[in-house]
A and B are shown apart, each in its own frame.
Chain A
Amino acid sequence: MALSTHTTPSGFLLPSIHSAPPFFTEQPNQSTHAHLTEKWMRLILAYARHKRLFVLRVEDAEVPGGEWDEILRNERINRRILPPYLSSLMAIMVAKNLAVYEPSKQTRAVLLYWRLPEEWADVLHSWATATGQLNTILTFYEISDPPIQSPLSGIPIPLLRRAITILSRSNRAQIIGVADGEGVRFFVG
């Protein structure tokens, strides 16, 4: 069986392993399993970065039509990942700090760290610097939904809060309570 790469309608280049049916089966053999899991995590994070997806849910494997269909299903070989396998993948990602359960205390949805919070903090600070918004108070909404498209557009508030917390630890930001919620002020780092 010739395995080949495939480009999805959204422009994502699927790896050739995605065309191998065993890829979609949870392998009993430990080493094979670990190998395929690693490939799965890489695929999920790459796709999330490509489509700027922050949240992965078990439902995405259960119900077709979601935004993850391009990698969780392969119509060409009639295969899909089963929810239990996806659930176990998510658990491994959380364990490897590639994701975090969000909200916590459940295991059906994860916040994907295709950038680690530290990286997000750097991105956030450089964005604030580049847009000249140091020492001004910004609400979280102004950051996650700016008038001009930014690298931070659509960032989930929990992830943004983690990034700001990391910045405030190095005194590059300060969380300020404002009238309609929370605000942040960035300092020169």
Chain B
Amino acid sequence: MALRRYTTSIDGTIPVPALLYDDEEHLASQDGVGIYDGLQKAPDYQTGSVHVSTHRLFFVHSQNPTSYSFTMDLLHVTRTNYYAGLFKSSPKVSLFLDASTALPLTTTSGQRTEIFESWECEVCSHRNPPGLSPAAARICALCGVPRSASAVSTASETSSQIQSLFSSIPESSYTSISSSSSPGPPSPPSTNDDSDGIACPACTFLNHPSLRVCEICTTLLPNIEHAGNMRAKSAPSTRPVSPISDSIDPANLLIKLSFRKGGDKPFYNVLRRALRSRAWEGKRIGHNARSGPSGLAITNPNYGPTPVAMRPSGIDGIMRNVEASAYVTQTDLNDALKDLEGLMMKAKDLVHLAGELNEKLTASSTITTTSTLASPFPTTSSPSTPGTQLSSPFSATTLVPSTEPEEAKFIRSSLAQLGLQMSNAPVTLDMIRDERRWVEELARELAGMLQGFPDDIPGQKSVGIMKDRGIVGLDEVWGGWNRARGVALIPPSTFLQVLPHLPAYTSPPIRSRVFNSGLSVLHIPPYTHASFTARIVGYLAMSGVMTTSQIAREENITIGLADEMIAAIEADGVICRDDERSAIKGGGSGTTSEVRWSRNLFLEYIWDGQL
């Protein structure tokens, strides 16, 4: 009897934590528990586990969790009694229930879904998320204003909900309200006796019983009919739908938990704490969720009904809410950053370690190879002295003096796979404190990129970006370099700073050159202006006239580049152009014409025509 009046069926296959509201906290569990409905054993609920949360009591049947599991709101519990057990009688906890808060028989999961909806506060337009407990869901999370009366009342008010809403109202008026029948909006009488459909209160359209809003005008349909319909559908079949007499014996209004496998005392303590904290009244929403069960300890000691107004509302509430959430975010962020810093420290150590290992490997490979045959391994770093080798942490391993090249290679490749290869690791500013040295190191690295590291792969000459070319665009170099670095990319400004240092580290020296158009290139000496001019003049002396594309082919450079270089020579007046557009017949038209170059012999021209 009491069981049916106060509990709702749940699907016990779902883990209890997943059934909790967002602001609900799971407190304790105990298995091997049977249920007494009133003074009698409830035959279907004899083996299972009970869970208590801040809001509810859960019973999950151990054999048949789908059918015989239920949940009960703690707000029904008026007082508790503890029985320690005697001989074969197990310890029991009696929960005396409040007659006035009994759920109407129609209450089912259908109503539950009503609560699990997001809704928009009419005052501050805050979109409240679903998943809060019924009490919390009735108040806007941001501004603390109760959800609008119309929206709530349509949801077929149960007396339990009223109880929590009006808990601050004096007892007399409270009982008078709750003892009266459902105070929902007066539904049109026609809808009650019409089982075929629900008449829309706005347009009178007869909607299908399962609809919740009018099909025609989307007005919210009265829910009493709806809930009644749901009862027929979802009430557990094990419960015979029988007329219930309204007269309930208050002595029978109790549920007993029989602890067959012990654990009764701790559970009872937790249960009492949960009852005392009255979390379902929503007075500490938002704090409970974070502070956890320990927050129960600081509960209001006097059990008197706490006014709902204790929860901050209005502008003050909004401000406090925002401040609190900002504080939490800040704390979380700080923690995360601290972790990250720690990680970076570790990473630095790791890189350092890899560098050391690499150095040892280089040193040892030099030693072994020089001792056996003429070294095919050119080395970058000078071999470290034996003293430092002995003091190094790696001297104990077999790597150092006796390392075979294969092993060294293996270790190096492993390092490379870890991203810790040091021989061509990009130079970064934190490696070098001094700005000037940093630029010089970059120049050294860039020189290697351009001309290939001579000792990159032993026995194999590597080619850099320049390859066989003598001249290359600055954009290509910058892009290629940064792609090779992969990390700590070089900004163009730094790149330009590095360029003047380049000739010192390259052989033949690579210099930069900026053309009139703004195009910048890096080139080796044969591509300076003077030597290029000399070469072009040589070509023209031989063949007389050359087009730009012919020169580009001859020089193995791009046409655009050839154009720039020839333009520079033309600016000197050494050569002159013949535009094909001047042709009488044929010739190019517009932009497709080609320019033919010839030496400028006109400066020495002496008039030999008619005077």
Q: A80 contacts the other chain (Cβ, under 8 Å)? A: yes
Shortest Cβ distance from B605 into chain A, in angstroms? 6
Contact of B610 among A31, A46, A79 (CB under 8 A): A46
Residue of A nearest to B581 (CB): A82
A25–B582 CB distance below 8 A = yes
**B contact residues around A14 at 8 Å (CB):** 609-610
A78–B583 CB distance below 8 A = yes
Q: B579 contacts the other chain (Cβ, under 8 Å)? A: yes
**A contact residues around B579 at 8 Å (CB):** 25-26
Q: B303 contacts the other chain (Cβ, under 8 Å)? A: no
Q: B571 contacts the other chain (Cβ, under 8 Å)? A: yes
A81–B582 alpha-carbon span in the complex (Å): 6
B570–A28 CB distance below 8 A = yes
Q: B457 contacts the other chain (Cβ, under 8 Å)? A: no
**B contact residues around A81 at 8 Å (CB):** 582
Query: Contact flags (1/0) for A13-45 with B, using CB distance below 8 Å?
Result: 111111011111111110110011001001100
Residue of B nearest to A15 (CB): B609
Residue of A nearest to B544 (CB): A1
Contact of A31 among B573, B582, B605, B609 (CB under 8 A): B573
B573–A32 CB distance below 8 A = yes
Q: B374 contacts the other chain (Cβ, under 8 Å)? A: no
**B contact residues around A24 at 8 Å (CB):** 578, 582
* A43-B609 contact in complex given A21-B596, A32-B600, A78-B584, C-beta closer than 8 Å: yes
**B contact residues around A180 at 8 Å (CB):** none
Q: B607 contacts the other chain (Cβ, under 8 Å)? A: yes
A17–B598 CB distance below 8 A = no
Contact of B582 among A1, A15, A21 (CB under 8 A): A21
Contact of A27 among B576, B586, B605, B611 (CB under 8 A): B576
Residue of B nearest to A27 (CB): B576
B609–A5 CB distance below 8 A = yes
A14–B573 alpha-carbon span in the complex (Å): 25
Q: A115 contacts the other chain (Cβ, under 8 Å)? A: no
Residue of A nearest to B595 (CB): A25
Residue of B nearest to A28 (CB): B570
* A29-B571 contact in complex given A15-B609, A17-B602, A21-B596, C-beta closer than 8 Å: yes
For B572, B587, B602, the residue with the greatest tally of chain A CB atoms inside 10 Å of its CB is B602
Q: B577 contacts the other chain (Cβ, under 8 Å)? A: yes
**A contact residues around B434 at 8 Å (CB):** none
Q: Report the interface size for chain B: residues with CB under 8 A from the other chain.
A: 29
**B contact residues around A25 at 8 Å (CB):** 576-579, 582
Residue of B nearest to A64 (CB): B584
Shortest Cβ distance from B229 into chain A, in angstroms? 92
Residue of A nearest to B607 (CB): A15
A15–B576 alpha-carbon span in the complex (Å): 19
Interface residues of A in 48-82 (CB under 8 A from B): 50, 73, 75, 78-82
B584–A73 CB distance below 8 A = yes
A79–B609 CB distance below 8 A = no
B603–A22 CB distance below 8 A = no
Residue of B nearest to A7 (CB): B610
Q: B88 contacts the other chain (Cβ, under 8 Å)? A: no
A39–B572 alpha-carbon span in the complex (Å): 20
Interface residues of B in 560-597 (CB under 8 A from A): 570-573, 576-579, 581-587, 596
A75–B585 alpha-carbon span in the complex (Å): 9
A42–B459 alpha-carbon span in the complex (Å): 69
Shortest Cβ distance from A14 into chain B, in angstroms? 6
Shortest Cβ distance from B550 into chain A, in angstroms? 16
A17–B604 alpha-carbon span in the complex (Å): 11
Shortest Cβ distance from B597 into chain A, in angstroms? 9
**B contact residues around A50 at 8 Å (CB):** 610
Shortest Cβ distance from A24 into chain B, in angstroms? 4
Shortest Cβ distance from A135 into chain B, in angstroms? 37
Contact of B609 among A13, A22, A73, A80 (CB under 8 A): A13
* A82-B582 contact in complex given A25-B577, A29-B570, C-beta closer than 8 Å: yes
Shortest Cβ distance from B278 into chain A, in angstroms? 93
Contact of B605 among A29, A39, A46, A80 (CB under 8 A): A39
B576–A75 CB distance below 8 A = no
B602–A20 CB distance below 8 A = yes
For A27, A31, A80, A82, the residue with the greatest tally of chain B CB atoms inside 10 Å of its CB is A27
A115–B577 alpha-carbon span in the complex (Å): 33
**B contact residues around A36 at 8 Å (CB):** 602
Q: B468 contacts the other chain (Cβ, under 8 Å)? A: no
Contact of B576 among A16, A22, A78, A79 (CB under 8 A): A22
For B573, B577, B610, the residue with the greatest tally of chain A CB atoms inside 10 Å of its CB is B610
Shortest Cβ distance from B150 into chain A, in angstroms? 83
**B contact residues around A28 at 8 Å (CB):** 570, 577
**A contact residues around B544 at 8 Å (CB):** 1
B605–A1 CB distance below 8 A = no
A78–B609 alpha-carbon span in the complex (Å): 20
The 13 listed contacts between A and B (C-beta, < 8 Å) are A13-B610, A20-B602, A21-B596, A25-B577, A27-B576, A29-B570, A35-B602, A46-B610, A78-B586, A79-B584, A80-B582, A80-B584, A81-B582
Given contacts A14-B609, A82-B582, 15 further A-B contacts (CB under 8 A): A13-B610, A15-B608, A16-B609, A21-B596, A22-B578, A22-B598, A22-B600, A24-B578, A25-B578, A29-B576, A35-B602, A35-B603, A35-B605, A46-B610, A78-B584
Residues of A within 8 A of B (CB): 1, 5, 12-18, 20-29, 31-32, 35-36, 39, 42-43, 46-47, 50, 73, 75, 78-82
Q: Which 9 A-B pairs have the closest CB atoms?
A: A15-B609, A21-B578, A13-B610, A25-B579, A24-B582, A22-B576, A22-B578, A80-B584, A1-B544
